[in-house]
Chain A
């Protein structure tokens, strides 16, 4: 029978073809037991082949957790990951750039191997879901034949290098960062210095510092385009930031160099990679990101080590070869610049134009954002977009970190025709980039770690806000709302104006889906500040909470005050008071809807993310004490907001201690009040027994508590960084305590 490998032949680059063949050959090794599950898992992850919810072979069906009896039996594709279970395929799209041939291949593989849906991610990748592992080699070959690789899309490597999708046509950029982003992508892909990390590594470049198209400050390495006059010559370079990251405990990136000449960007990344590979944590993946290494070493020492490493690197021609032609990736207009003809256009066109059309730096042209609900489009829509691109703009478009697609070089004269063609594809949605275009990670829909239905929630919010967008106060129109299904921040809730992350709560003995409300984040300025969770809201009440917070903002804002500034002025405590009554959960008999998550018709559970068998009693007092610990976390935040770092750090520790005490009392009601005894008992009864362990994070959250306890005993002076980190960690520890208590049944 003909195969894709034979059919595509030499159109697959030999290096990629060989790698894919090796990957496919490993299937046999795994089947025959010659390859360990952990080794095979890392191998497939580095090829972008990811796990997906229920791939451990069981699923809660609304009444009970049942086994999914796949035909493969015990064969695994990773630890606790069934071979036959469908998974997710992540496809790297460096700086979001796609040619129409690549779009065509993506549409085809989505249709044939997935469910006909292409999902654009917050890293400009494309993800396909429900993909069977046997289909992945051919899927990769078909993409490789058009110049797309899935290599290092996952795993402990440099992930997709992201870049501002407006580069080259944006009016606020210093220069086009596209060739630099592409050069980084090519340089780091498969580079030996990038193969021995303890954790993933993320890089982004942006053309300016004010917009958020690149979110530089949340990256391991981020660069903002800069120029500087040196010896009478205008030189290009980058303002470089390092060691940022969201995740469970977010860190703002730190300024590494105000101006790094363009020829230094690749060797510096290489040097950082070497230091990270040599000194970064390997065993405890929860502390293995670069941000933890920089914290451990101290920034100055880290920088010294990087510069030392840089000085001894062997010269590599690739560091500067790309500078010889910085226009290789330029896209040129297909149509001449011309104004939109005067005319009586429909109101829908005006609404779409307001949110979706951005003037280019080049007069007579515009960028058009194709808004994708929840980042999804069908293969048929993708093919429609291909036709549209070829008709109006040329051969390329770009995915964005807001999960949309950006068309560039649209002649203004074509705007109405573009609108009509997009409308015919169901892609002329108004509201792009507004509050009604909120984004979410996959959450409980497909993610193994999801706690709450972030996509379900955001789908609901978008529907409600779209319906009333035109009546909303202009001040709220561009507020960014983002949700994650758990604390891991894949939905980037920390840098949203209003963020949510999924948690569960046991209320009167029954599980209820909740979202933490996160305020204080800043989308602008490349993710200028990170928000903090202020209160857990029942999922059902989140839309009302959002309405209420926005209503207060509109009513109370001073002048042109931004939402971020408004929250800073009135304080999180005041916002918490505004929504206090909406934290209440009625009995199941009164309103059962609270006990179901958005878009899920099964009774809410966390059984699909992990199981535990703690024995529990003292239910009422434990619930009470856990709630008290949560209040303390919030109190710590308010103290931090008022610059009382010492008080904030102390109260954050106290929150952890209260939660630990509450859990310890379920195991030993006579534990008493002595803090050392409580900590010791907690270690013995909850930690050593692994009762507090998260299925994936293991004992990480309890380790936060032990470290904070040691710091308090050793009277380590509180700094703003320490207080902030401890608050984040206290929040996570309290959530882990809730989860442990949930598992106690």
Chain B
């Protein structure tokens, strides 16, 4: 399994929005279209999908060749997410860090987009890390044991010296995912600078 988890490419990171945030998806979708026009975030940006009609769905999705960006509502909690679809360079830790960086870059852009009028702000102390690959990373204790060191490496960078609680979703049907809560908050720009 150790070998398999090292091969994992389909990694995602979601930074939850601050409590009570009610993002206007229409404005986010419009922002994503502008991002495509201006190449605002990393990757070959292809299209925008509007899933505002789907409860607890992907919300606003910016489809890119390498991976997707979204302001999604999975689990009933809105957040800015990036998940990788195609292979990236570097070892697993580097790939996870890269996914987190992309998510934070998107979050930072949304936080500072004048059209969104400050309606989007990440909480800065909660995130989810997931493996979108049941072959290499089934939702199991073994996967958690193999993945934990790279998660801790990322958290050490994001929240230096700060305690973080981990909570893995134990539902065997769900993909492998860990919710993380840090004991201190930081804004997207600060978190991004730490990566």
A and B interact: yes
Interface residue total, chain B, C-beta cutoff 8 A = 39
CB-based contact B47/A59 at 8 Å: yes
A-B contact pairs, 21 of them (CB 8 A): A1-B7, A54-B47, A59-B36, A61-B36, A63-B37, A86-B46, A108-B175, A112-B175, A117-B51, A130-B63, A378-B54, A381-B56, A425-B55, A426-B55, A426-B56, A445-B49, A445-B50, A459-B53, A601-B30, A601-B33, A602-B33
9 new A-B contacts, CB < 8 A, other than A115-B68, A380-B74, A383-B173, are A70-B44, A86-B63, A108-B175, A111-B175, A116-B58, A130-B68, A374-B53, A378-B56, A459-B53
B: residues with CB less than 8 A from A are: 3-4, 7, 10, 26, 29-30, 33, 36-37, 44, 46-47, 49-58, 61, 63, 65, 68, 74-75, 85-86, 132-136, 173-175
CB-based contact A54/B46 at 8 Å: yes
CB-based contact B133/A115 at 8 Å: no
Known interface pairs A54-B46, A84-B65, A376-B57; A112-B133 also in contact (CB < 8 Å): yes
Shortest Cβ gap from B28 to chain A (Å) = 10
Which residues of A, 47-89, contact B by the 8 Å Cβ criterion? 53-54, 59, 61-63, 68-71, 84-86
A425 and B33 alpha carbons, distance in the complex (Å): 30
Task: Considering the complex, give the chain A residue whose CB is closest to the CB of B30.
Answer: A601
Chain A residues near B86: list those with CB within 8 A: 132
Chain A residues near B57: list those with CB within 8 A: 116-117, 376, 378
Which residues of A, 98-122, contact B by the 8 Å Cβ criterion? 104, 107-108, 111-112, 115-117
- Partner of A377 from the list B30, B44, B49, B54 (CB cut-off 8 Å) is B54
- Whether A456 sits at the interface, judged by CB under 8 Å, is yes
Known interface pairs A7-B135, A602-B33; A68-B46 also in contact (CB < 8 Å): yes
CB-based contact B4/A376 at 8 Å: no
- Partner of B4 from the list A2, A108, A129, A130 (CB cut-off 8 Å) is A2
Chain B residues near A538: list those with CB within 8 A: none
- Whether A179 sits at the interface, judged by CB under 8 Å, is no
Closest 8 CB pairs of A and B: A426-B55, A601-B30, A373-B53, A61-B37, A601-B33, A378-B57, A383-B173, A376-B54
CB-based contact B58/A117 at 8 Å: yes
Chain B residues near A104: list those with CB within 8 A: 173
- Whether A586 sits at the interface, judged by CB under 8 Å, is no
CB-based contact A69/B3 at 8 Å: no
Shortest Cβ gap from B54 to chain A (Å) = 5
A456 and B55 alpha carbons, distance in the complex (Å): 17
Shortest Cβ gap from A13 to chain B (Å) = 20
- Partner of B49 from the list A7, A129, A132 (CB cut-off 8 Å) is A129
A59 and B47 alpha carbons, distance in the complex (Å): 8
Chain B residues near A373: list those with CB within 8 A: 53-54
- Whether A669 sits at the interface, judged by CB under 8 Å, is no
A70 and B43 alpha carbons, distance in the complex (Å): 10
Chain A residues near B30: list those with CB within 8 A: 601
Chain B residues near A383: list those with CB within 8 A: 173-174
Chain B residues near A588: list those with CB within 8 A: none
CB-based contact A115/B54 at 8 Å: no
CB-based contact B46/A601 at 8 Å: no
- Whether A610 sits at the interface, judged by CB under 8 Å, is no
A61 and B74 alpha carbons, distance in the complex (Å): 28
A344 and B3 alpha carbons, distance in the complex (Å): 58
Shortest Cβ gap from B30 to chain A (Å) = 4
How many A-B contacts at CB < 8 Å in the complex?
108
- Whether A696 sits at the interface, judged by CB under 8 Å, is no
Known interface pairs A374-B53, A599-B50; A132-B85 also in contact (CB < 8 Å): yes
CB-based contact B44/A69 at 8 Å: yes
A: residues with CB less than 8 A from B are: 1-4, 7, 53-54, 59, 61-63, 68-71, 84-86, 104, 107-108, 111-112, 115-117, 129-130, 132, 373-374, 376-378, 380-381, 383, 386, 425-427, 445-446, 456, 459, 462-463, 599, 601-602
- Partner of B10 from the list A112, A380, A445, A456 (CB cut-off 8 Å) is A112
- Partner of A108 from the list B51, B75, B85, B134 (CB cut-off 8 Å) is B134
Chain B residues near A111: list those with CB within 8 A: 132, 175
Chain A residues near B36: list those with CB within 8 A: 59, 61
A399 and B67 alpha carbons, distance in the complex (Å): 30
Shortest Cβ gap from B72 to chain A (Å) = 8
Chain B residues near A86: list those with CB within 8 A: 46, 63, 65
CB-based contact B74/A378 at 8 Å: yes
Shortest Cβ gap from B78 to chain A (Å) = 14
CB-based contact A117/B54 at 8 Å: yes
Shortest Cβ gap from A348 to chain B (Å) = 15
Shortest Cβ gap from A400 to chain B (Å) = 18
A6 and B180 alpha carbons, distance in the complex (Å): 34
CB-based contact B7/A112 at 8 Å: no
Task: Considering the complex, give the chain A residue whose CB is closest to the CB of B66.
Answer: A71
CB-based contact B63/A61 at 8 Å: no
Chain B residues near A425: list those with CB within 8 A: 55
A69 and B44 alpha carbons, distance in the complex (Å): 7
Chain B residues near A445: list those with CB within 8 A: 49-50
CB-based contact B63/A68 at 8 Å: no
Task: Considering the complex, give the chain B residue whose CB is closest to the CB of A4.
Answer: B135
Chain B residues near A4: list those with CB within 8 A: 135
Chain A residues near B74: list those with CB within 8 A: 116, 378, 380
Shortest Cβ gap from B166 to chain A (Å) = 21
> Which residue of A3, A54, A112, A132 has the most chain B CB atoms within 10 A of its CB atom?
A112
- Partner of B65 from the list A1, A63, A71, A381 (CB cut-off 8 Å) is A71
Chain B residues near A599: list those with CB within 8 A: 29, 50
Chain A residues near B51: list those with CB within 8 A: 115, 117, 376
CB-based contact B49/A130 at 8 Å: yes
Shortest Cβ gap from A63 to chain B (Å) = 6
CB-based contact A115/B49 at 8 Å: yes
CB-based contact A59/B46 at 8 Å: yes
Chain A residues near B61: list those with CB within 8 A: 115
CB-based contact A70/B10 at 8 Å: no
Task: Considering the complex, give the chain B residue whose CB is closest to the CB of A427.
Answer: B55
Shortest Cβ gap from A50 to chain B (Å) = 16
Chain B residues near A456: list those with CB within 8 A: 50
A380 and B175 alpha carbons, distance in the complex (Å): 10
A660 and B117 alpha carbons, distance in the complex (Å): 51
Shortest Cβ gap from B79 to chain A (Å) = 14
A427 and B68 alpha carbons, distance in the complex (Å): 25
A380 and B72 alpha carbons, distance in the complex (Å): 13
Shortest Cβ gap from B73 to chain A (Å) = 9
Chain A residues near B3: list those with CB within 8 A: 1
Chain A residues near B85: list those with CB within 8 A: 132
Chain B residues near A374: list those with CB within 8 A: 53
